[in-house]
Structure 1
Amino acid sequence: MTVTRRRGQRLDDAILDATWQILQEAGYARLTFEAVAALAGTSRPVLNRRWPTRAELALAAMERAAPPVVAAPATGSLRSDLVELLRQAVNGFGAVRGEVLAGLLAETARDPDATAAVRAWIARSTTGDTMAAILAGAAERGEIRTADVPARVLRLPFDLVRNEAIRYGLPVADDAIASIVDDVVLPLVGHTCGGTPAAAPPPG
């Protein structure tokens, strides 16, 4: 193996490019530090100093190559906003992202470091902010009584799409997206369908 002397961002880019290439061509199961080091023209200790675990390396490559969707649609209706947002998420997810996450979740069963890496990756997500913006618009239009919902609810649509992709593979079908929106999310946030705010519950 020929080791090319690089530093800083150039070296990081070469490593993450090599990682993403292996993930695309061979999948997460065959991702190794040795393979990445050989392809990137560096050494395993260099990789380990930056990403101590295979899970962290895979997630870093995935985030760089296929960043999650963050833009909030503005279609004028809560339902169509949600459907469009989840379609964007599915399109941005990609088959490799689904395969990587499936591999990572399998690894969490036996590796606490993989568990920590996946939890940190989820915590960095801005999808909750996107959902909050969509619900705020819906509240202003009178489609829901309030946009003040728990953070867990803000994450839920993306958690369900992620689970759908991991369990059944990509692409996630339009009817699955519609079911997530109609059967789970809209009832949960109190969507009124007709645009009239839901009545407040009686006191006591």
Structure 2
Amino acid sequence: MSRRRGERLEQAILDATWELLAEMGYAKLTMEAVAARAGTSRPVIHRRWPTRAQLALAALDHAAPADTEPPDTGGLRTDLLAMMEHVARRHGSVHGEVLAGMAVETARDPEAAHALRARLASTAQGGQVATIVRRAVERGEIPAVRLPSRVARLPLDLMRNEVVVYGRPPGEDVITEIVDSIVIPAILHAPASEGLQAG
């Protein structure tokens, strides 16, 4: 049998990583177990993903890529609720367990902290919120605002906090409270702008 290379080998490694994450969780994931499952060696994996955290996040993106198009329900509040409910469903899966496990490890593992920060910095969630707010402005639902990046990231930050602190994604009542009491007021108190900007 010919040796697997390039994309075929990468897919086998990521598939094996995802299977192991689903079976045993992030805390018990090892490079050795992934290598055995994928039929390769640890050095091969290590050349592509130097740390376990980077490998786990790559497998997460491979198996469950982040959504880039936000919901469009016709209203700011219902768009935000729909987006956060979708995130909550994802965080209730292996996706959420990986992020929660990594968040716990960041206190003692600088490599996990770096990988997680890089992942969160590149998340599409802030862009989704900016799109939702832009649509609300275009509908005349709210005044034009300059959306700070921290406000754009707020829904995902709060969702992650719930998962890390309580070990599970928030329910519908908590999501509603977050949107009504925190996210929408933060958006409405953003600086006024002649045209919507995020950042």
Would the TM-score normalized by the shorter structure come out above 0.5?
yes
Residue matched to 2:28: 30
Output one character per residue of 1:98-146: Cα deviation in whole Å (capped at 9) or x when no partner.
Answer: 2211221122112211111001111121111111111011112232222
Deviations 1:134-181 (A, max 9, x none): 101111223222232101100101111122123223343101110110
Question: Is it true that 1:55 corresponds to 2:53 in the alignment?
Answer: yes
Matched residue SS, 2:126? helix
| Percent identity for Structure 1 against Structure 2 | 55
Secondary structure of the equivalent of 2:92?
Answer: helix
Contact 1:82 1:181 in 2 (8 A): yes
RMSD: 1.8
**Contact 2:103–2:164 under 8 Å retained in 1:** no
Residue in structure 1 matching 2:168, options 150, 170, 180: 170
Q: Max radius of gyration: which structure? A: 1
Separation (CA, whole Å) in 2 of partners of 1:129 and 1:52: 29
Aligned to 2:65: 67
Who is 2:18 aligned against? Answer: 20
Post-superposition, which runs of at least 4 consecutive aligned residues in structure 1 deviate over 6 A? none
- Residues 11 and 94 of structure 1: CA distance in aligned 2, closer, same or farther (over 3 Å): farther
Which of the numbers 130, 133, 137 marks the counterpart of 1:132? 130
1:1-204 maps to which residues of 2 (within 5 A)?
5-190=3-188
Q: Which consecutive unaligned segments of at least 5 residues does structure 1 have? A: 192-197, 199-204
The alignment covers a number of residue pairs equal to 190
* Local SS of the residue matching 1:42: coil
Any conservation in 2 of the 1:79–1:186 contact (CA below 8 Å)?
yes
Show structure 2 runs of 5+ residues with no match.
193-199
